[in-house]
């Protein structure tokens, strides 16, 4: 058993013009594939670990053999983060969420506009490479925070609900240093139905 690179849920050019096809091809086919390969390489000598769900491994890194702990943190995080990232985007995305997710956002941030502003601000302010998250805690409360590198909310006891990759590899070909433009465009492809499913699953 080994972790497998999940296929993109849409063609590589489907998120144009917001996310360009060349970036998607490299991001999925090289970066995500690379994290997957290195994760598997780290686990190959450790019987049973590759059978566990990735979120379980990430939630309890301290239980892993020390010699693979950092590799699993970086590449297991990269594996899981990108798996979520493709799914929370869609060519039919954009707009605003509805239902229970909309109510939870309203309750946590007062309005969708406030949420969006706070999330975008966190993305603009993140120094170096990392991710911005909308996460749910154990009680189902929503929050926004950032993680460095490929660190995952699972490492902090949170469930990721929506994630934005702000590594330069996610946007530099099209947007160069204009990270705020990338973030503004990305809202047009957010798949709120998938985000709502993540939120519902986080409460179970």
Binding site for Mn ion (CB under 5 A): 165, 167, 170
Decide whether 83 or 137 has the Cβ nearer to Mn ion. Answer: 83
Rounded least distance, CB 113 to Mn ion, Å: 27
Decide whether 72 or 170 has the Cβ nearer to Mn ion. Answer: 170
Rounded least distance, CB 99 to Mn ion, Å: 29
| Other CB atoms within 10 Å distance of the CB of residue 201 | 11
Question: What's the token pair of residue 20?
Answer: 């360009």
Decide whether 112 or 172 has the Cβ nearer to Mn ion. Answer: 172
Rounded least distance, CB 27 to Mn ion, Å: 6
Decide whether 77 or 97 has the Cβ nearer to Mn ion. Answer: 77
- Ranked by CB distance to Mn ion, the top (closest) residue is 165
> Which helix (H) or strand (E) covers residue 162, if one does?
strand 159-165
Question: What's the token pair of residue 123?
Answer: 């993305």
Rounded least distance, CB 173 to Mn ion, Å: 13
Residue of 104, 98, 47, 43 whose CA lies nearest to 75: 43
DSSP string, 77-137: HHHHHHHHHHHTB-TT--S---HHHHHHHHHHHSSHHHHHHHHHHHHHH--SSEEEEEEE-
Decide whether 85 or 192 has the Cβ nearer to Mn ion. Answer: 85
In the block, tokens 């798996």 appear at: 83
The whole-angstrom separation of Cα 154 and Cα 61 is 10
Rounded least distance, CB 132 to Mn ion, Å: 12
């Amino acid at each position: 058993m080994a972790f497998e690179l999940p296929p993109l849920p849409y063609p590589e050019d489907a998120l144009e013009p917001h996310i360009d096809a060349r970036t998607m091809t490299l991001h999925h086919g090289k970066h995500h594939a690379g994290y997957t390969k290195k994760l598997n390489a780290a686990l190959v000598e450790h019987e049973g670990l590759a059978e566990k769900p990735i979120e379980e491994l990430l939630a309890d890194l301290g239980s892993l053999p020390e010699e693979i702990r950092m590799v699993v943190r970086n590449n297991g995080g990269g594996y899981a983060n990108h798996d979520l990232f493709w799914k929370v985007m869609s060519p039919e995305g954009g707009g605003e969420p509805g239902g229970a997710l909309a109510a939870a956002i309203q309750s946590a941030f007062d309005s969708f506009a406030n949420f969006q502003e706070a999330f975008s601000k966190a993305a603009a302010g993140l120094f170096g490479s990392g991710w911005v998250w909308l996460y749910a805690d154990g009680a189902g409360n929503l929050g926004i925070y950032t993680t460095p590198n490929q660190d995952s909310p699972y490492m902090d006891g949170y469930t990721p609900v929506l994630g934005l990759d702000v590594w330069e590899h996610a946007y530099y070909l099209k947007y160069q240093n204009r990270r705020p433009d990338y973030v503004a465009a990305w809202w047009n492809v957010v798949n709120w139905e998938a985000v709502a499913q993540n939120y519902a699953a986080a409460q179970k």
